[in-house]
């Protein structure tokens, strides 16, 4: 079968891009369509089609481009007769039709989230801009209609599945995103796999520190990780990149504890940081949260928000803690307790999120096959998810 994988836009790093990697690995003969491609070397053996936006400055100004995205996807037509379309959507990629002159292919939508900008602006300050508020009513109407057009929907967490029901009025299966659990666990000390410069950086870090890592954007709330370190008197390491880099540098310079900021770490360095950190602090209300699962795969305890998809991967007092407030006694007690957690048990708790399982589930969904029994047995029980 000939397939097309549709993705919002391709970045050099990101959780959605890790999902896209596994989609391409599952269906290597498929083409890709995206609004623009900022990682042209990522899929060297795959045809990647870009929209007209890729040739304009709009690719660097997503908020301004937002009102045009839906129309761009809806007007894009297929030049090839695809049997199916697999959409990786967190804004408006699921609006894509890619209808051919004589038929419409089946459309499967993997939903990272219904667009936070228009459906949950309270969780993402970017949705509170004047422009976003102005266009949200019409975009919600289009978004709801586009969701009805899909043959089938899959959500990356139960949390997102519930939001799909509220926003679009549709049922969806839950298919947790892929995490390179086996790959992370194959190396007992990732410091052995970093460059000389990265090794030098690791050696200069404090023996004990709290770690925060993600894109440097407002809703990830990395400033709360700095505040957490100040509250308990522990050094902090922040890893990532993004538009709030300068703000976080200023916060770091004025903090009462040492704060080290590592810009755009390699995977190897990030895994080494997970292994060395006392705990991984992850404050946002996230749709799923791949990075906390990566941290647990490396044996690092996590402290996450009690709301959101991260609650579905963390087993309380086994792999970490879920808290309501990233300040006060909640936080202090959680940080005090992480040192007693067994790192081998932490690693074992996230085996069910491995990439092999995701690829098998994806193939089963698109091709209508049964999930292999050995992989189906890895499905977490209700008791596990509710801990």
Please determine, for residue 386, whether its predicted confidence score (pLDDT) is greater than 60. Answer: no
Listed as own residue / partner, the contacts of 148-154 with beta carbons closer than 8 Å and 24 or more positions apart are 149/97, 149/107, 150/87, 150/94, 150/107, 150/108, 150/109, 151/106, 151/107, 151/108, 152/108, 152/109, 152/365, 153/108, 153/109, 153/111, 154/108, 154/109, 154/110, 154/111, 154/365
Specify burial of residue 353 (Cβ count, 10 A radius: 0-12, 13-18, 19+): buried
Helix 245-253 to helix 223-232 angle, to the nearest 10 degrees? Answer: 20
So where are the chain's domains? 3-178+354-386, 181-351
DSSP3 helix / strand / coil % (the chain, rounded to 5): 45, 15, 35
Q: Is the dihedral of CA 113, 119, 121, 127 positive or negative?
A: positive
Quick: pLDDT tens for 42-57.
Answer: 999 999 999 999 999 9
Q: What is the CATH number of domain 181-351?
A: 3.40.50.2000
Quick: pLDDT tens for 220-279.
Answer: 999 999 999 999 999 999 999 999 999 999 999 999 999 999 999 999 999 999 999 999
More confident residue, 385 or 283: 283
Q: Which fold has domain 3-178+354-386?
A: Rossmann fold (3.40.50)
Please determine, for residue 140, whether its predicted confidence score (pLDDT) is greater than 80. Answer: yes
Residues 84, 105 contacting (CB under 8 angstroms): yes
Specify burial of residue 214 (Cβ count, 10 A radius: 0-12, 13-18, 19+): buried
pLDDT band at 377 (very low <50, low <70, confident <90, very high): very low
Residues 293-299, mean pLDDT to the nearest whole number: 98
Sheet holding 152-155, edge to edge: 48-50, 31-34, 3-7, 84-89, 106-111, 152-155, 173-174
Same topology, domains 3-178+354-386 and 181-351? Answer is yes
């Amino acid at each position: 079968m000939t397939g097309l994988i549709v993705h919002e836009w391709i970045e050099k790093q990101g959780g959605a891009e890790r999902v896209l990697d596994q989609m391409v690995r599952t269906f290597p003969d498929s083409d890709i369509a995206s609004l623009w491609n900022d990682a042209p070397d990522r899929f060297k053996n795959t045809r990647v089609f870009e929209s007209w936006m890729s040739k304009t400055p709009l690719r660097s100004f997503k908020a301004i481009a937002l009102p045009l995205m839906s129309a761009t996807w809806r007007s894009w037509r297929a030049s090839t007769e695809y049997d199916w379309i697999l959409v990786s959507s967190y804004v408006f990629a699921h609006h894509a039709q890619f209808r051919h002159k004589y038929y419409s292919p089946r459309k499967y939508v993997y939903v990272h989230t219904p667009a936070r900008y228009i459906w949950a602006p309270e969780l993402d300050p970017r949705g509170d801009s004047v422009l976003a508020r102005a266009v949200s009513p019409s975009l919600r109407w289009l978004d709801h209609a586009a969701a009805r057009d899909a043959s089938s929907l899959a959500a990356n967490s139960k949390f997102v599945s519930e939001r799909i029901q509220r926003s679009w009025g549709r049922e969806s299966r839950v298919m947790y995103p892929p995490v390179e659990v086996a790959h992370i666990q194959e190396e007992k000390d990732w410091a052995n796999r970093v460059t000389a410069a990265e090794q030098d950086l690791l050696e200069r870090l404090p023996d004990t520190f709290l770690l925060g890592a993600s894109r440097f954007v407002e809703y990830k709330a990395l400033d709360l990780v700095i505040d957490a370190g100040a509250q308990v008197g522990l050094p902090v390491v922040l890893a990532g990149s993004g538009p709030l880099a300068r703000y976080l540098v200023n916060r770091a310079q004025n903090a009462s504890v040492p704060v080290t900021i590592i810009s755009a770490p390699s995977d190897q360095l990030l895994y080494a940081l997970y292994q060395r950190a006392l705990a991984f602090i992850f404050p946002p209300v996230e749709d799923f949260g791949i990075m906390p699962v990566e941290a647990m795969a490396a044996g690092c305890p996590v402290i996450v928000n009690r709301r959101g998809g991260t609650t579905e991967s963390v087993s309380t007092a086994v792999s970490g803690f879920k808290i309501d407030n990233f300040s006060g006694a909640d936080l202090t007690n959680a940080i005090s307790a992480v040192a007693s957690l067994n790192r081998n048990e932490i690693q074992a708790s996230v085996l069910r999120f491995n990439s092999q399982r995701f690829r098998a589930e994806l193939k089963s969904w698109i091709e209508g096959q049964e999930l292999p029994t050995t992989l189906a047995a890895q499905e977490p029980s209700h008791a596990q998810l509710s801990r």
